[in-house]
Each structure stands twice: as structure tokens, then as C-alpha cells.
Amino acid sequence: MNPGQNSAPEAPARHTMDSAITKKLADELRVYANRRQTPLTIRQLYEFGSDDNEGMRLRAAKFLHCEVPVRLAHMVRNLENLPYGLSDMPSVRRIRGLYTQSFHEILNFPHPQTLEDEAAFTRLVDRMKNRHANVVATMACGLMELKAVKPAEVEAEQIRHFLDRFYLSRIGIRVLIGQHIALHEERGDGWVGIICAHTAPAHVAREAGRQAQTLCRMNYGVTPPVEIAGREDLTFTYIPTHLHHMLFELIKNSLRATVEKHGADDHLPPVKIVVAGGSGSEDVTIKVADEGGGIPRSGIDRIWTYLYTTGKLPDTMPTGEEEMVAMAGYGYGLPITRLYARYFGGDVQLISMEGYGTDAYLYLNRLGTHEEALPTGLEVLQQQVG
């Protein structure tokens, strides 16, 4: 059973701690923000978790107890130094308070020494994970707040750079916590936590395509067909939920562009997905190609900025991450998709022919040896938890 189940609901943050931060806590944040983070690889996470026993989970809890406060402190420092006054926006201050609260709680939790400690610690990090579930939507609100007072600065390169670092850090924390929580769950063959040794890109693309088509049909009444070709038998070690997130976003964009280009036609051109990558290749490459009219060259650079969108911006921002599943409008899909790809050494590139369509290339490191995209340092997991 997941130790995070049946836990008491999280109480509202006390002003998200932003207005009640003590000098001692500020000093602790500063100390931990100056420590090196410990980037890991998919292979390390998989191999460490493969030793399925209670002792392994206790060692993992000890590692998280040391590592997560460092990562949280880096995020708080990042949020304190956002350019153009973004740090002072109410929504961003709220996020900073949430991460400060989590830092305070984990720092004040005793270092796990027993299996009972590990179970309690797992419940703590599960609550933390749930507490931060709406951060993407809240940050989008913060950008909207900045746009209301400084519209030109929202797409500035400095803003994108800071947000890229912030979201990469967030992905990393959620991977570590999610992996630890999932180690308590019964999974199928080849699964270790949230990682699957038999991740099949063609299968994930098919599922993501079906969901994107359902959303497209809900929005437009029609949907283009989705065709999959290439290495349908290919499998590799990866995090399937990450792959699904990336493919869903790319397919969704292609479906929308196709319908908006061709109208509600019964014979819409298909969105074509090609999976490539042999046993000797370093990367798995997935192409998502459409005939949706393409993107002007003048807009290519802007698609990687936050809040830029070729669709209609919604009248209101969502209140939760789960509500950000829309056909278009929030301007977060592509930048965050690229960060998910880059997190373990991949990338996303777009090649567009204005007037015809766009090919999106998703590159994934299939060897599982690429470290997380974190700013500094590497220390071996077992050294941290000894």
C-alpha cells in the first residue's frame, strides 16, 4: 500500500510562510542554496530501485531527506531573483511561500532511521507533492499579472531562462519524490517505481493520440486521423508518463493546426507519427508531422517563450494543473515539453513550412545514462545514504 494513502488533508499554508519567514529559516535557505545538487540518471534510479526491499526504501528516504531540501532551497533562491519584478507578483510570492513551507517541514523532520520513520517520511513527501500540484497554473497566473503591468517583458529572454531553470528543477523534485512513492506500489514486469524498462514509444503515441483526438473532437466536432509508422516494436527504459505528456502536447498541437487550416472537413489530412531508433543508436527519435499550415519564420523563436501562443488566449487562467488540458491558449505546452525532453538528455526541434505544415522531432536518450539537467555536481547515491 502507498504510505501516502489515507493521510490527513493538507492544511492551508499560513500565508504560504512568505510573510512569516524567520531569520533562522532565511539563513538555512541560504546555506542549502549554496550546496550542490546531485543529478542522477534514469539508469541509476532504475538500478537502485530494482533492489526491492524495505532496506532499499529506507536508504532512498535518507537520500531524499538530504537532497530535497537542497533542491527546494535552489528553487526558492531562483524565485527570489526573477527579473522585471516577476518575483513580486502575488502568484509568484504564493509559490515561493509553498516551497519555503516544504523546505521548513522536511528540514524539521528527523533523519529517517527506521521503517516507521520511512513510512512517515513518505507520507510527508506525498503531501508536499500534492501541495505543489498547481504550481504550473499558478506561475502562468504570475506571468499574466506581470503582463498586465509590463507587457513587453513577458517574452524577454531573461524571463524564459529563469523559468526554464525553475521548471527543470520542479521536474527533478517531482521525479525523485514520485519515484520514492511509487516504490511502495505493486507494478508490472519491468517497472521500478515510475520507470519502465519496456517503454514502447509507439504504444504511448497511440494512447496519447487517442486522448488528443478526443479533446480535438470535443473542441471542434471533428478530428484528423493519427497514423503511426516506423519501429512499433521498439522499447527502452524511460518514464512513460513523461513520454505521454510530451507526445500528447505535440499531437494535440498538430490536430488543432490541421483542423484550423482545413476546416471541419470529413477528409482531413492525417497527423503522421514516425518512431525511429535501432539497437545501436543513442537516441530514440519520434517525428510528429502535420499539414496544418506551418508557422511563420518570424514566430519560430517565440514559440519557446512562455505565454506565446498561436491559438486564442483564454479569458481566464486555469485553477489547477489538471485543467490546463486545452487545445491551445496558455502558451506553456511547447516550452515545458522541451524541458521534459531535455531533463534526461533529449530535445525537441520544430521544422516548419509556412503554408503547408510542421514536423516536430522529439529526441530521447535511450541509454538511460544522461544525468538530470541540473546546474551542478554529481555524487553517487549510495555515498549520500550511507
| Best CA proximity match to 362, nearest among 263, 271, 248, 285 | 285
Q: For the residues of 340-382, what is the DSSP string, one character each?
A: HHHHTT-EEEEEEETTTEEEEEEEEESSS-PPP--SS----HH
Q: Where are the alpha helices (DSSP H) in the chain?
A: 23-33, 42-50, 54-80, 90-107, 115-131, 135-149, 157-182, 201-220, 240-262, 297-300, 333-343, 381-385
Residue 251: partners with Cβ closer than 8 Å, 6 or more residues away: 205, 208, 209, 212, 226, 271, 273, 288
Cell of 55: 532496506
| Number of C-beta neighbours around residue 153 at 10 A | 16
Identify the DSSP state of 327. Answer: S
Identify the DSSP state of 17. Answer: G
C-alpha distances (whole Å) from 292 to each of 14, 167, 326, 342, 355 are 48, 29, 18, 26, 8
Crossing angle for the helix pair 42-50 and 157-182, to the nearest 10 degrees: 10
The set of catalytic residues is 245, 249, 252-253
